[in-house]
Amino acid sequence: MTIHERLKEERLRLGLSQDEFAALAGVSKRAQANYEKDRSPQADYLAALDSEGVDTHYVLTGRRSDDPAQPEFETSGLSASSGLSPVAMYDIEAAAGDGRSLEREEVESTLYFPTEQLAAQGLDPAQVVGIKVRGDSMDGTLADGDWVLVDRSSRDPHPEGVFLLLVHGERRIKRVQRVAGGAWLLISDNPRYEKELIKPQDMKDVEILGRCEIRIGRVN
């Protein structure tokens, strides 16, 4: 079966019409019909379906994610044969262990992104993780429940941008701006939140975990 046939099969398994399935992903019925016919699904479309409980692992690989009888697949083989790269997705709220690396946290899901598209954005798939945004502090840029792809190889706050940070053992997503004297200003894009100044002597309590590069969220 092709990915298009598996997508249709998954929709029918859930008992949904094309209209209803399209609504889950925030696309039109026409776009859904094209995905089931010959159009390659986009990453944000698959991420939206995955967050709604659709078995996107099956759609992409033909293997049910909850089937213990299915053998483990080789991710390197999957990437080589399909041009997809696996990206581990973490819930920033659940992944809250003090000072723990993300690799030691529980992966909420794994999504597969076209390797060429990641490379076109200057991203090494081996250095990319997905983080679920929590809270409204970055409203205007990132909404609660959005996913964002984070480049863990980019930990220099220059040029300025939005970063995943470890601040006093707590993971946060903030805009980082360098100011005079070597201090950092942590900025929430939601104006209701105050800016936070990190003085040079307090830098030991702050670590940049990666730069936020690609937002995946529902279209409102």
The CATH code belonging to domain 1-69 is 1.10.260.40
Residue range 22-60, pLDDT digits in tens: 999 899 999 999 999 888 787 788 888 888 888 888 888
Say if residue 213's pLDDT is above 90.
yes
In whole angstroms, what is the distance from residue 139 CA to residue 144 CA? 8
**ω into 125 cis (within 30 of 0):** no
For the chain, the domains span 1-69, 74-220
pLDDT tens digit sequence for 65-88: 665 444 444 444 444 445 788 888
The CATH architecture annotation of domain 74-220 reads Ribbon (2.10)
Angle at the Cα of 47 from the Cα atoms of 46 and 53, rounded to 5 degrees: 90
Q: No. of H helices and E strands in the chain?
A: 7, 9
Could you read off the pLDDT of 120-169 as tens digits, one per residue?
889 998 899 999 888 899 998 998 888 899 999 988 878 789 999 988 87
CB 164 within 8 A of CB 110: no
